Structure 1
Amino acid sequence: MNRNLASDLEQRAVSDPDTVCLTFEDGRRWTYAGLNAAASALAAVLAGAAAGRGHRVAVQLPNSPELVVTLLAAWKAGLVPVALSGLYNQAEVRKCLDQVRPAVVISAAGAAPGDSAELPPATVARIAAAHEGTGPVPAGPALAAPAVAAEDEGIVLFTGGTTGEPKAVSLTHAGTYTSMSNLVRAQKGRPGPLPTAGAEVPPNLLALPLFHSGGLQSMLVAFHLGRAALLMERFSVDRIARLVPQYGVDNLFLLPTMIYDLVRAAPAPDLGSVRRVLVAGQRLDPMLQQEFEKKYNVMVLSNYGSTELGHVAGWTGRDIKAGMWRPGAVGRVYDGVTLEIRDGQGNALPAGQPGEIWVRSQRTLGYVGTGATTAGDLVAAGWIRSGDIGYLDHDQVLFLVGRSRELIKTGGFQVWPAELEQVVREADGIADVAVVGLPDPRLGEIPVAVVVPADPDADADELEAAVIGHCRERLAHYKAVRKVLVLDSLPRSEVGKIRRDELESAVQERLGAGAEIR
């Protein structure tokens, strides 16, 4: 049976209506019944504003109870939420809206960003607050989420794309739910949904943004496990220092950037209640992991996956106790996940041989563009290609040895060089440009622009300042280049393509991994 992504909440609103399921960092709380009622109220509004079931609702809200209610309301109304990053500027939001063509746009300001005459705006400014707390639920029937088919679109999330622009990934209800269930089975040793936890069980802390696939999954997993969710507006060491001991949080789901900040924090926050940390988003530097575990005496476990793939592999406490841990591995392939390592011709490779990682899944329908959804190079006969290079051992333990060379992962977010190159080319005085990733101890990688000036006598420092300023005005901060290297020419092949290996070697030689970043 395929489940709507609002199903777990609805079932617990019946079985455990008065149990608190959501707490915001400011102390406001919602029971399962209260949250379900709030989502039902907004669902009725959205159903009237949208043209019909299956239509998309673009949402650009910060991490907040309003955002949680809006996502649930869209699913209950049979609509498809499109989660837009709060870090996007107006031009980036406009591009995203042009790709997905939503029927409704919801933003914190109560109006659609940019030129949106064709897109009726809506607001949820007080929908959640109207049903705040643990008191009586307003009278009226709760709207039930419609049944879904295996191929029904459940949510659209934005991630990096091969054309250089942010890519809208269409994910199904069924595939997203299955991926979540695989993770829960791996962590708990049995499938969910699990019995609703009692008040003595600490909440799951939602530290990632809900427009990020990791943040969204954290929210859904909490409902699936029957554990309350504690929502942060955004990550900061100060918030961790306050909320973890206040609520006795016993587990954390973090990005490597957050691990870095906690390792460098002085004074160190009290994480005495935390028993384990799960890290996703990008590979965690082994030395950073060791520093964190030594400083906080907490085990760090990895989780390999992506927006497109879902949860694929990782380590659990049981794996470690059973002696299955392998140095350098990202983890054991989760039960329920079918994975193949393939060569460039699409042939499956045996254990020990590296190739591209492919995962069989109904999670991803493909990329969305101008209202249409196409599988393209992402999905082939039910298999999703990762773009990552790795290999399996005979125990289904997965090792990563590389990835698509152009993709830059910075702070857990994906950045594609082509998008940055297009922006840099628009700056004054630039004749040629290529963008590469430079290793960074905090962010994993940072984007570096290698430019050829139009004027050979141009001052390198002035050009660098101009390019960085130009990017920061036009891009979300995590995308903007952090360093500029000036060369007389870029290494190109005989057909004009950038030789990225040579370029990256030149950047490493000139700047080094410890270069000062502005």
Structure 2
Amino acid sequence: MVHPQALLTELDRAPEVAAFERGGEVTTRASVKDLIGRFTAGLRAAGLGPGDGVGIATAVTPEGFAAIVAAHVLGCRVVCVRAGLPVPQLRHIVEDVGALVVDEASESPELLGTVAGALILRIGPELLSVYEEPVPSGRPGDIATVVFTSGSTGVPKGVAFDYRALTEGRVWRAPEPGSAHAKLGAGFGRFLLFGTLSSAVMLEQTALCLLSGGTAVIPDGLPDFPWILPRLRVSAALMTVPRLHQVLDVLRAEDVDLSDLRTLIVAGSPVPPHKLAEAAELIGPAMHHAYGQTETGMLTVCGADEGAGSVGKACDTVEIEVRDADGAALPQGREGEVWVRTPSALAGYWRDETTTAEVLREGWVRTQDLGHLDADGYLHLSGRARDVVIVNAIIHYTGPIEQAIAAHPDVDQAYVVAVPDAHTGEAAVAFVLPVPGHSPDFDELRKAVAAELGEAAVPARFELVDAVPVAPSGKPDKAALRASVVD
């Protein structure tokens, strides 16, 4: 079986069940299968086949999803294009595609200008006039999709996955009974699908929804959390940590009916333990915390009431080791870099052999995250190996500093960044978002960091903020925080 055969089989299994819902319009699984067949015929007629690069720029629609699946049926290399990217990043992302599938909502002069010479395939009656039974023809070693990172640190990196990973990994096949994905999938009767189909995690969760027999519910416009959840009777949703903070702000002051919610997955960055405890209290057993990367997919998941302070245990098919700087495995309780092995992992970085060699080692992925495994197998993260402040040639990881500050009862969130310093090379600046109605004492925060990590780790400067900027990836925008204090 080759990807996406498992999905096609599921669509055939229950053809009358709703696959997508938007407003009053329902798209059944039979209709999605029909769209996939029509896209398959249209793309093949355009001369596309195994190994060809196809850009897909669409809104979040059943048609956009079907176009992605059809390109995979043909064995193409798919690049999903997010709306709103600056032209230099657009040009970098689509430079290797020979054809671009686009809908009316996503077509723009800027986008078309970056793919000069590429074949433009507009979604409409002409492209979808003929049906062909979709029979997957992807080759295991060919690249199936390239997912580009947000580019917040410069040029977006292309994370490439081959057809073997999509076929053998757990994401695009029916969940194994009793597995973490099966338990999550049981709550995906109505999954909130929003944002962009270029998001690897959103696309993966949509696959989990459909393969678990559920319906992907698409809101009109941007979702207004948390009110969108009861209004659309959502049972499962995915959100970033900044959005969780916004939801909790509302739930502290208002009653919102979350009785339909079964699974709320928060991912993208660590959730401080005190915040996770509050989320469990206000949201209930639906609250889940997940850890993963674009390069690997979801690695761990846990409910808010298990593995205190951890991000959970390894999902089925995932192996986790913590290693020292020389790559040697460390015993339980010892902190080091987190290495993982999973069939869902990337094949490499697109046209970047140097970074590929740094991250991929004999089938293992270096996450460049720091943490340790406890005696029960729960993974505890402490920071990013690259998220550091180098003061007087001594490396300080920002994650542990942020945790020490956020543990103070007057602090809601804390973020630490490195800024240039004429005397020490770099200095740490801490941005503190207080608990509403509270005013943290900076001297107390300094003492808390010193007690936990030593005087040398205490930030040189503290800044009180009433909001934290959010990057296009949905994560806290540390670059913007840094820019606010660097001349």
Shorter chain as denominator, the TM-score bin is: 0.7 to 0.9
1:86 and 2:83 are equivalent in the alignment? yes
Give runs of aligned pairs for residues 473-492 of structure 1, distance below 5 A: 489=422, 491-492=424-425
The answer (yes or no) to whether the contact 1:303–1:311 under 8 Å persists in 2 is: yes
Deviates more, 1:351-360 or 1:173-182: 173-182
Q: What CA distance in whole angstroms lies between the structure 1 residues aligned with 2:460 and 2:269?
A: 24
Q: Structure 2 unaligned runs (5+)?
A: 390-397, 432-455, 470-487
Q: 1:19–1:95: structure 2 CA closer, same or farther, 3 Å change rule?
A: same
Matched residue SS, 2:337: strand
Identity, in percent, stands at 23
For 1:510 and 1:502, locate their aligned partners in 2 and report how far apart those are by CA, in whole Å.
5
Matches within 5 A, 1:326-341: 326-341=307-322
1:254 matched to 2:239: yes
Residues 1:275 and 1:56: Cα distance change in structure 2 (over 3 Å): same
For normalisation by structure 1, the TM-score amounts to 0.70
Please tell me whether residue 145 in structure 1 is matched to residue 136 in structure 2.
Answer: yes
User: Partner of 1:10 in structure 2?
Assistant: 8
Q: Distance in 1 between matches of 2:388 and 2:135?
A: 41
Residue pair 2:292, 2:300 contacting (<8 A) in 1 also: yes
CA 190–331 in structure 1, closer or farther in 2 if over 3 Å, else same: closer
**1:495-514 map, 5 Å:** 499=426, 508-512=459-463, 514=465
Which of 101, 105, 109 is equivalent to 2:100?
Answer: 105
| Count of residue correspondences | 422
- C-alpha distance in 1, partners of 2:12/2:49? 27
What residue identity is the alignment partner of 1:143? P
5 Å matches for 1:127-138? none
CA spacing shift, 1:390–1:507, aligned 2, 3 Å: closer
In 1, the alpha carbon distance for the partners of 2:278 and 2:122 equals: 44
- Contact persistence 1:341–1:358 (CA under 8 A): yes
* Offset at residue 190 of structure 1 (A): 4.4
Confirm or deny that 1:224 pairs with 2:227. Answer: no
Contact 2:38 2:131 in 1 (8 A): no
Evaluate the alpha carbon distance shift between residue 8 and residue 447 of structure 1 in structure 2; reply closer, same or farther with a 3 A threshold: farther
Residue 351 of structure 2 corresponds to residue 369 of structure 1: yes
Q: State whether residues 419 and 429 of structure 2, in contact with CA within 8 Å, keep that contact through their aligned partners in structure 1.
A: no
- Secondary structure of the 2:49 match is coil
- Secondary structure, counterpart of 2:19 in structure 1: strand
For residues 143-193 of structure 1, the C-alpha deviation after alignment (integer angstroms, 9 at most, x for no partner) is 2222542x332211112679732111001333245543599858x614989
Aligned to 1:122: 121
Q: Distance in 1 between matches of 2:81 and 2:58?
A: 8
The secondary structure found in structure 2 opposite 1:344 is coil
- 2:69 equivalent in structure 1: 72
> How has the CA–CA distance of structure 1 residues 65 and 507 changed in structure 2, closer, same or farther, with 3 Å as cutoff?
farther
Q: Map 1:7-86; keep pairs closer than 5 Å.
A: 7-24=5-22, 26-49=23-46, 51-86=48-83
Q: What is the one-letter code of the residue matched to 1:215?
A: M
Question: How far apart are the structure 2 equivalents of 1:268 and 1:148?
Answer: 52
The superposition leaves residues 84-106 of structure 1 with CA deviations (integer Å, 9 ceiling, x where unpaired) of 222412222112223xx111123
Residue 345 of structure 2 is aligned to residue 348 of structure 1: no
TM-score under structure 2 length normalisation: 0.74
Query: In 2, are the aligned partners of 1:278 and 1:303 still within 8 Å (CA)?
Result: yes
Q: 1:373 to 1:152 in 2, by over 3 A?
A: farther
User: Which of 340, 356, 359 pairs up with 1:359?
Assistant: 340
Asked whether the equivalents of residues 301 and 315 of structure 1 are also in contact (C-alpha less than 8 Å), the reply is: yes
State whether structure 2 residue 360 is matched by structure 1 residue 379.
yes
Q: 1:415 aligns to what?
A: none
Q: CA deviation at 1:255?
A: 1.6
Q: Distance in 1 between matches of 2:87 and 2:152?
A: 22
- Where structure 1 has 5 or more consecutive residues not aligned to the other structure, the ranges are 131-137, 409-435, 452-486, 493-498
Q: Determine if contact 2:20/2:218 at 8 Å carries over to the other structure.
A: yes
Q: C-alpha offsets along residues 106-125 of structure 1, whole Å, 9 cap, x if unaligned?
A: 34217744343232222225
Q: Output the amino acid matched with 2:201.
A: G
Matches of 2:154 and 2:415, distance apart in 1: 16
